Chains A and B, each alone.
Chain A
């Protein structure tokens, strides 16, 4: 089956929620990937919508990029609401 494509599967569990990555399937084409994903990941009402994407089409961050990519956001505490102190009299904001 190595000649079959590996697809990543994303399932929307309920209307209004995001699609979430749940795993992968092998399939000969897109349609079969959807059918296999349905059989494999939604046997118990786990979803209302499925996306399949060839794994090779996904571009991901590399693990050694973790620091240069994500560390800069760590020292920007002023981006969070809790950074700003307001007197109690102002009430909930």
Chain B
């Protein structure tokens, strides 16, 4: 029942899982990193990565043994899915991951959180949250494509926990993270699993991930 993730290097916190670094995955990232990639291709290839990430995230949910009868009358010892889930996207870039989520989890409920930088304190501040009523009884897939400093993701987790979701029932899914962001996030929430597609080199002076892919929401929605 172990997840499919590759073994992670010692410097990466144990609660972080990455996708297997195949040539195929690397090729997908090369397309979405390329600044000359068209918006249509950016959409298509980022969706492919998101689907793989959500599939990996779901592998961290529990399953129970289940026996079924096949149409030919044979019995099959399989497993059944257990527990309810919901998605929560951090506006606006996190919404880009919803289509991929729903391709894998049909008609899943999706909550939304808007977090922005408070210009007075320079800290992330919650502006808006609309979450499923029974969120406390669900596993939560938290969606935000880029983990840079980790400020807004940590604020979002804080909001979810205030709504009664236990830390170990949250799975944070992103496409690219910075080592710095991962470190501070996992230090604060060690029981929370992070599924990331790629861990990049670091942050530049403007707190952009390098090499990164620029502003995910901007490229997905506006360019």
- Do A and B interact? no
